[in-house]
A and B are shown apart, each in its own frame.
Chain A
């Protein structure tokens, strides 16, 4: 079974530029998550999709971050314009169902450096 795929692996941009990350979840997983992990911290949930609908985006900085999951499969996360404090690893995860025994599987992440 293929895992969660993310691209690119690394991205370096200057502040105020825009950037986009892509995620392809495990086949058949209806739930997709985007996390932000700042160095030395645990992952923080940005947004959760159930199929192609947003379930939770309470911690997404909506003035600069946006995400979509068209057709309920692949997802993109965009930052526009980027700030220095957006430097982090952006992790995508997926799970097969929403229940108390749900397991989330993580992709390799995209490491973003904002200069």
Chain B
């Protein structure tokens, strides 16, 4: 059973701080990972994708992947109240024509002004 696990939170950080969101996965066959942001009542929106070990930075967001430890993280620098949302981690699994995303349950982030 392929699984992606996240702490459901809520994770509360003060405005301007660094928010650190973590995710682990069970299947070493996963080839890519995605972080989606989901505001309450809205659809998931892609924030970051990462495919190889190491760090990937995009503006205030940094995704980190460690395939040996089966661990993915998302850092949000200079957190803003507008970052308050649920962050979904997803692992991509591919085989033939199948291209499946397995989502975690999401971590609720609350940025306090």
Contacts and interface: CB of A to CB of B under 8 A. Distances in A.
Nearest to A107: B43
Interface of A: 31, 40-45, 48, 50, 55-56, 91, 95, 98-109
A101 B49 contact: yes
A45 B2 CA distance: 13
B63 interface: no
Given A42-B105, A55-B98, A100-B94, A91 B32 contact: no
B111 interface: no
Nearest to A102: B99
Interface centre among B8, B94, B99 (most CB of A within 10 A): B99
A108 B101 contact: no
B44 A106 contact: yes
B97 interface: yes
Given A42-B88, A106-B44, A108-B43, A98 B97 contact: yes
Given A40-B105, A41-B105, A100-B92, 14 more contacts: A40-B8, A42-B4, A42-B105, A43-B88, A43-B103, A45-B102, A50-B97, A55-B96, A56-B100, A102-B99, A104-B46, A106-B36, A107-B43, A108-B42
A99 B99 contact: yes
Contact of A91 (B34, B44, B97, B98): B44
B43 A55 contact: no
Interface of B: 4, 8, 31-32, 34, 36, 42-46, 49, 51, 88, 90, 92, 94, 96-106
Given A101-B51, A106-B45, A48 B105 contact: no
11 contacts: A41-B105, A41-B106, A43-B103, A44-B103, A48-B98, A55-B97, A55-B98, A95-B99, A99-B99, A106-B45, A107-B43
Contact of B32 (A55, A95, A98, A100): A100
Contacts of B105: 40-42
B87 to A, nearest CB: 11
Q: Which A-B residue pairs are the 8 nearest by beta carbons?
A: A42-B103, A98-B99, A106-B43, A100-B31, A55-B97, A106-B44, A56-B98, A43-B103
